[in-house]
Chain A
Amino acid sequence: MPQHIALKDPHREARIYSARTITAILIVMGLLALILSRYYSLQITEYETYRTQSERNRVQLQPLPPKRGLIYDRNGVLLADNRPSHLLSIVVERVPDLEETLKELQKLVPISASDLENFYKKKARRRPYETVPLRFRLTEKERAQLAVNRHRLPGVTVEAQLLRHYTHGELFAHAIGYVGRINEREAFELDSTDYRGTFHVGKIGVEKYYEDILHGDVGYQNVETNAHGRVLRVLERFDPTPGVDLTLHLDIALQRTAQEALGDQRGAVVAIDPANGGVLALVSTPGFDSNLFVNGISSADYSALRDSPDVPLFNRAVQGQYPPGSTVKPMMALAGLESGLITPEYTVPDPGWYRLPGDSRRYRDWILKIRGTGHAPRVALEMAIAESCDVYFYDLARRLTIDGMYDRLHPFGLGERSGVDTTNERRGVLPSTRWKRDNLNQPWYPGETLSAGIGQGYMLATPVQLAVATTALATKGRHWSPRLVRTIDGEPAPAPELPSVKATPEHWQAVQEAMRAVVHSARGSARKIAQGIEYEMAGKTGTAQVIGIAQNEIYREEDIAERHRNHGLFIAFAPFEAPTIAVAVIVENGGGSSAAYPIARRVIDTWLLDEATGESPVATAVAAE
């Protein structure tokens, strides 16, 4: 330290400091002069302009909310539209006595408690002389009532506004989602400038996922008003940029067929175009009318939907997680072929049950309770898939091990969110020893590997995941993160491709042939739907147990309450040689796959045969290549 002091030269330092001070003073004076010149130009040069502007603040800046982008199906059928609607709003500054006015208004039109609550919230955040909405969607009669009494109600205005309308609310509720009034949390998160003058925002589904581009950009106009707030003259106008229109891959006819085929049953259908990952149909039943949500659903309607045992608000297609059951068998077969554990000719003895070495427990095949024996003395790959033989896959699962299964099934997209462009997607479960350790903190037991081998136990998949996996089966390995939206503002929005499932062509061939036998062979588990079919279809049935069945108990459907019946599943693609559609169907408590495969057939029939769908699916496939 003393060293530094020895080197210090106080005179030099003082000299430098003085120089710096003079520099600083010059800079300070210069910048103050700059500021002063700005105030001079505002207050002297442009005085007249600003004085006029400030006079009683007759000049107002009004936001012009953008028109929300429209949503069309693939054929150009309008699904989400904006319709003019009238809203009652108040300019608080122009109302002599707010409480009195509100009381007066309540005598003229019904105003609910939640309307009032929203009004007060918005009032607290408003800018001076900004209109605050009180009641949405006025009827013709209510408007007339208000118009007659207008002279008594200064500061009360009726404004026209565009409101979302879903032309097929029931049919697309789960696929498109809906908009609703901006709530407090959203008001905080949204850009307050961009949403000035906008009262609605996408809440779920496509409406939420694409909110950014559907919304558009706000505009504004500078208007001169009279003392009562009526606009006299528009001084300056900057038009809003409307939101971008979306065209979906969804096909209204397919959507309708799927909905009708599901009927009163709880379930879901997802259909994907194997050429590009576009979602052709996405239905979850029961649904609801999405228009209910646009203007604040009444609490009675809402509790009815929320408390229904059928959970209509639950989007089974992306949120429903079900044991995939035997629908994993084609993927398991490919895993066995690729890992060299089986060949198409390899056979397994099938007495109707399977036993782990050194374990007395019998793992039964579903056929045991029907025939009292196995499918055949020895079962090979094609029969194992076509007739859905459990023993064959118990044996394969044991040899593959659970972690081997994880490695081979994961590329199909099981256990991962597909990334479909909607909200609330669940990821399902593809179990592994690590998964069980991390999530349940338990070791893996060998018997659990056998359950996993037939898609039971811990394994869970959403219908959309199954549809993606089916796409890979249809295309021999290619699949996409599915997309509901096909074009954005007319520009194609291609689905991101997922890493392909790698396997040799012969192995793909063997699995696909076996899947064809499910439908087209004499003993195929879905042979019933081959009746009168005009094309070749490949599929796989699945039955998922809802409750565990004890060792010696025989399962009898009629004894079990409806809610405990098995889920029915079916995955399929068609036409066999050049697939243009891949479908996954689940029917909750359908009893078995026989509840699901007729639905798939109807959907595929509509897609392949129905001329009324407008666009030729063949043309689509060609265009995509």
Chain B
Amino acid sequence: MSDYLRQLPDRSSGLSRRPGAAQRFYLDLPLLGLLLALTAFGMVVLYSASGQDMGAVVRQGRFFLVGYVVMIVAAQVRLQRFERWGPWFYLGGIGLLVAVDIAGVGAKGAQRWLSVGGFRFQPSEVMKLVVPMTVAWYLADRTLPPRFKYLIVCLGIIAVPAALILIQPDLGTALLIAASGLFVVFMAGIGWSYIFGAAVLACASAWPVWMYGLKEYQQQRILTMLSPESDKLGAGWNIIQSKTAIGSGGWDGKGWLRGTQSQLDFLPESHTDFIIAVLGEEFGLRGVVILMGLYLLLLLRGFWIGLHARSSYGRMMAGSLTLTFFVYIFVNMGMVAGLLPVVGVPLPLVSAGGTSVVTLMAGFGLLMAVSAEQRTVKH
């Protein structure tokens, strides 16, 4: 018995000896713990960022409740099922995206929402999970690293939804979805020559598009997006305010509910995309470091799950979900600090929002399904 345990180190821990609730429900405890910690931290910040509006916190709490339920349900599903369902989800998702482009509900000049019986949701949000699922499904059976012709198919799978979202128009989400699909390809191990080749090609084609494809005002928009601070009265105003908020937080922060920038409404979108500025102002660099530490642990756990996955599908999914999660963190924190262009990307698990929380948690559910696969063979 002890020999057997030594050969299967995963099972040697306390978990295997006493099949607890976590194992019975295929929950990955380190992941769950980190998620709960981030959720709790996020709610504390949200209370302050929403102007001490308990209603907003309760609403967000309800979204999280739904999110956790979705996650736990997703964790119960056998990974092969996800693999098989992927393409059907994909076809359904494309159908919904077309429906949005035709009959969607607009907000600020973009059609993103689909309203069904008073319930509104964003199909593009769901595609953030479905696109990597489909690419991984397609590649799982093939020899890896994928050959060139399979790569072309993968790019097609990614390009169709990305294009449909681009015409909504929602550039930020389109790029994120493209990235989530490309991460699968990356984790599948495509040659570096392809990666560098694509990068060179992208740079080379950007120039003629810039010179001949874009009108002057479009160029101006892009320049403004790349350096928002040049547009001091528009997007730059937000960045100046958020930088002031963060910078004035110092190391210790001004204290919870004491951020002058945040509490006096100088900060735009303070409870959604710009919430990190509230955190930076009230909890200081200390708070930022704690948040980043939690994120880093979560990312490492994601990578660890990928490394220990049994199937190549599981590996690719774990890798791409983790990297996508990282992109959210990177883009949001970079944008609020004036390092990156302002695109509508929320800070995961902290920013207020419904659909995005549920999608994120569904993704973690999938990650848990991968993690469960390595320990047990499900019924």
Contacts and interface: CB of A to CB of B under 8 A. Distances in A.
B142 interface: yes
A8 B142 CA distance: 7
A187 to B, nearest CB: 13
B319 A17 contact: yes
Contacts of A29: 296
Contacts of B261: 54, 57
A53 B300 contact: no
A147 interface: no
A35 B307 contact: no
A32 B296 contact: yes
Given A5-B141, A39-B246, A44-B285, A32 B330 contact: yes
Nearest to B334: A35
Nearest to B268: A127
B77 interface: no
A196 B303 contact: no
A42 to B, nearest CB: 4
A51 B244 CA distance: 7
Interface band, chain B: 35 or more
Interface stretch (A18-26, A258-266, A377-385, A409-417): A18-26
Contacts of B281: 54
Nearest to B248: A54
A4 B143 CA distance: 6
B141 A35 contact: no
A183 B338 CA distance: 33
Contacts of B319: 17, 20-21, 24
B143 A35 contact: no
Interface string A56-88: 110001010000000000000000000000000
A24 to B, nearest CB: 6
A550 interface: no
A46 to B, nearest CB: 5
Contacts of B231: 193
Contacts of B250: 43-44, 47, 51
Interface stretch (B41-49, B232-240, B363-371): B232-240
Contacts of A20: 186-187, 189, 319
Contact of B251 (A5, A17, A44): A44
Contacts of B285: 39-40, 43-44
A55 B244 CA distance: 10
Interface string B184-195: 001101000000
Nearest to A55: B260
A7 B312 CA distance: 14
Contacts of B141: 1, 4-5
A248 B187 CA distance: 65
Contacts of A435: none
A128 B264 contact: yes
Contacts, number: 146
A230 interface: no
Interface string A110-151: 000000000000000001100000000000000000000000
Chain A's interface: helix, strand, loop or mixed, by majority?
helix
B265 interface: yes
B144 A63 contact: no
A10 B312 CA distance: 8
Nearest to A52: B248
A42 B292 contact: no
Given A35-B337, A192-B234, A21 B326 contact: no
A218 interface: yes
B337 A127 contact: no
A42 B243 contact: yes
Contacts of A360: none
Contacts of B143: 4, 7-9
B61 interface: no
B189 A36 contact: no
A445 interface: no
Contact of B145 (A16, A46, A51, A54): A16
B266 interface: yes
Nearest to A221: B232
28 contacts: A4-B142, A8-B143, A10-B312, A16-B145, A16-B189, A17-B306, A17-B307, A17-B312, A17-B319, A24-B186, A24-B323, A25-B303, A32-B292, A32-B330, A39-B246, A39-B285, A40-B285, A42-B337, A47-B247, A47-B251, A54-B244, A54-B260, A61-B233, A61-B237, A191-B234, A192-B234, A196-B233, A220-B233
Interface of B: 141-145, 186-187, 189, 231-234, 237, 240, 243-251, 260-261, 264-266, 280-281, 284-285, 288-289, 292, 295-296, 299-300, 303, 306-307, 312, 315, 319, 322-323, 326, 329-330, 333-334, 337-339
